[in-house]
Structure 1
Amino acid sequence: MLRYLLLTCLALGGCQSAPKVPAQVGPRPFYLVDDMSPGPLKDRLEQCRTGPFYRSDFVFGHRGAPLQFPEHTQEAYQAGAVMGAGTLECDVTFTKDKELVCRHSQCDLATTTNVLLIPDLAAKCSVPFTPANGDQPAQAQCCTSDFTLAEFKRLKGKMDGFNPRAQTPAQYLLGSPGWRTDLYSQTGTLTTLKDSIALFKKLGVKQTPELKAPMVRMPFNGMTQQAYAQKLIDTFVDAGIDPKDVFPQSFNLEDIRYWLKAAPAFGKQGVFLDERDEQPGFDPMNAASWQPSMAELKAEGVNILAPPLWMLVTLDENGQIVPSAYAKAAKAAGLDIITWSFERSGPLAGGGGWYYQSIAKAIHKDGDRMTLLDVLARQVGVRAIFSDWPGTVTYYANCMGLD
């Protein structure tokens, strides 16, 4: 076969691979490598300091680049592409007039946009702003389904967060975590699914839309869950996007099943976001606690599984990070793995929080992220990693020769 390919290339005048797209990873990965404990992995990563750095399909931009840019904004998406993400994500929900837009949650507008500062729009929120009173925190809930598309486009994205002690809407918006920044929140251009598709195509990246769970009763104004799932696919078809460049996601297994049946070219690349850990008795080291099983998922046509970081790793008897039984079973069943979300947490001193819960005893400082990243890539064998700061994973992927 290799001889045949070589002869064919020669006959055609030579075969060339697609040119690599340069990436700028910024200073963060260098900071993390410097913070690592001495050892072979640190030595290898230090040898890559001069680059060059290129875009990688191993890197998924989680909501763009929300460690520093407001999530699901054009600015965050552009930053993710610049830092080497080969795939970018639009979390998909819908407006009052059933238009698809990019938001992590249908009802997060009060904490991720300036909606409370626009009086005529704030008045339409499902739960109007209520100031803090004693032990009762300040409250507000504003949903995309509260507004038409035209109204949605009047909003500006900001870093996700709120001040629970706020007495005014302006104070409510001042809640960004200290380890993020509002430096790039001055523009915050929101986007629709259709516009994100056009932007991602222009940027030359693949696309991973996530169908978010509705927070309103379905059917919504006549739109059923299946119609919602189909509308997502239709938007890509209408834009002429090749299905091989699209990875539709959902936490709802029924959505994956629907795509496999109704749009198999897209469905076979469907990403099942695994929340089986919410089932009573779930244990990533006990296969009997996973329902459905890995083999059953594969038999249904699911090809890509996407669990959170912590479900894929555990500690061995020496306290070293190693693949979990869950990770081994997924690979044994023939499932590809895409995991989330790298650098979603703040500083890791003290165990790292939710994303690191299964390996907390081995997490002591920020540089330990790179050790986990190496285990996920080389021992678990993940296909890709969602990252809130794609440049870090790009640095690692380029250094290790991952496309």
Structure 2
Amino acid sequence: MRFCLAPAFVAALVFGHGAFAAEIDLGPRPAWLVGQMADGPLKDKLESCLGEPAKRTLFSISHRGAPLMFPEHTQEGYRAAARMGAGIVECDVTFTADKELVCRHSQNDLHTTTNILATELAGKCTKGFAPATGDQPASAECRTSDLTLAEFKSLRGKMDGADKTATSAEAYLKGTAPWRTELYGGAGTLMTHAESIRLFEDLGVAFTPELKAPEVAMPYEGMTQEDYAQKLIDDYKAAGIAPENVFAQSFNLADVLYWIENEPEFGKQAVYLDARRDLNPMDPSSFSPSMAELKAMGVNYIAPPLFVLLSLEDGKIVPSPYAREAKAAGLYLITWTLERSGPLSSGGGWYYQSIGEAIDGDGRVLEVVDVLAQQVGVKGIFSDWPATTSFYASCMGLD
């Protein structure tokens, strides 16, 4: 199955809305990754595509914008992702004190993703800055629900990170991972969900909003979880966006089932983000609900982390039992998150845990993408730097 998009939107993906959307610039990273690969047919194929024009593909999904280098969920990061050929861009959706929907990875990450602790709004945080003392790391907790929309919009996005050894708020804000960069961190324009819709439409990309779990108790001032899920869909209806161009996501299966029942046109492409902690991807008997049961509920798309879809056989990366079971049930797979682990010289960490023994450097990134695309059959891959997935998809002729 292909992603299903309205004909007019397909034209937009090919030709772009305006001059910016038509321009794709992959930059040097894909060539650098190819150069790190072991010699073989895959490297030969990818090398043959270096320097060739790239196309915008739905296989390439922007995760939080382009947070390998740009502050996440900012206008600047979203524009960078589109320029790198992402065909689908993500706005993680949460809400403010006045129940307005905004783009943030979680409701309580403002202290690590914005400059709030350097502003007067720090006094409104759920938990103010506490310096590191003895065995206690520095901490803070600032929520979108601590602020009105106007206050939220006054903040500036920054690279996600915090220095847990800090004794001042200023130092706490400087915790960017060494394999990211501050080069583009000086300007991070925060966005509402509605603003992201208008921007993505102008950029000629499809939409994948994720309904984030609230940190506040629900109902929140009369807004139930169902109201919250509906509010997300209503923004697309108000903007006149065709349902087939929207891939609404949630880790909460109840949200996905709500969309399937109450907004069936949007529900057809609703994505169940599967991060069940009690699930053993090597043992299908541990899946509850099972893949077949999810399909019977009306779920069509399921999206686990990439390690869940992969395993090792005789040292080779192959599809996991989870991947095979999902395909057998007729579910379509998306996965996350490429290029979020930093350098892969020591196994790749959490995202690569099922195949860590085979991950010995960054040259493995495109090998992993190849197995996911050609053997697992994923329809798309989230990446923190979409140029990589755009390059691979363009080279291999993927949609």
**How would you bin the TM-score normalised by the shorter chain?**
over 0.9
Matched, 1:240 2:237: no
Which amino acid counterpart does residue 218 of structure 2 have in structure 1? Answer: M
For residue 294 of structure 1, the aligned residue among 283, 291, 296 is: 291
Displacement over 6 Å in runs of 4+: none
Secondary structure (helix, strand or coil) at the match of 1:367 reads helix
Aligned residue number for residue 5 of structure 1 = none
1:284 CA displacement:
0.8
Aligned residue number for residue 353 of structure 1 = 349
Which amino acid counterpart does residue 31 of structure 1 have in structure 2? Answer: W
Aligned residue number for residue 3 of structure 1 = none
Paired with 2:98 and 2:15, the residues of 1 have a C-alpha distance of 42
Unpaired segments ≥5 residues, structure 1: 1-16
Alignment of 1:142-291 (within 5 A): 142-276=142-276, 278-279=277-278, 282-291=279-288
Which amino acid counterpart does residue 99 of structure 1 have in structure 2? Answer: E
Secondary structure (helix, strand or coil) at the match of 1:59 reads strand
- State the identity %: 61
Secondary structure (helix, strand or coil) at the match of 1:68 reads coil
Which stretch has the larger CA shift, 329-338 or 20-29? 20-29
Secondary structure (helix, strand or coil) at the match of 2:353 reads helix
So what's the TM-score if we normalise by structure 1? 0.94
Paired with 1:19 and 1:228, the residues of 2 have a C-alpha distance of 34
Cα shift readout 1:92-114 (whole Å, capped 9, x = no counterpart)? 00000000000001000000000
Aligned residue number for residue 117 of structure 2 = 116
1:168 CA displacement:
1.1
Paired with 2:156 and 2:382, the residues of 1 have a C-alpha distance of 24
Unpaired segments ≥5 residues, structure 2: 1-12, 17-21
Q: Please report the RMSD computed on the Cα atoms of aligned residues, expressed in angstroms.
A: 1.2
Alignment of 1:304-383 (within 5 A): 304-316=301-313, 318-383=314-379
CA contact (8 A) 1:22 1:53 kept: no
Aligned residue number for residue 125 of structure 1 = 125
CA contact (8 A) 2:71 2:188 kept: yes
Paired with 1:22 and 1:361, the residues of 2 have a C-alpha distance of 39
Which stretch has the larger CA shift, 48-57 or 152-161? 48-57
So what's the TM-score if we normalise by structure 2? 0.95
Aligned residue number for residue 88 of structure 1 = 89
CA contact (8 A) 2:60 2:382 kept: yes
Aligned residue number for residue 53 of structure 2 = 52
CA contact (8 A) 2:14 2:55 kept: no
Aligned residue number for residue 388 of structure 1 = 384
1:18 CA displacement:
5.1
Which amino acid counterpart does residue 55 of structure 2 have in structure 1? Answer: Y
Paired with 1:343 and 1:275, the residues of 2 have a C-alpha distance of 19
Paired with 2:252 and 2:143, the residues of 1 have a C-alpha distance of 20
Select the structure of larger CA radius of gyration. Answer: 1
CA contact (8 A) 1:64 1:76 kept: yes
Paired with 2:345 and 2:288, the residues of 1 have a C-alpha distance of 34
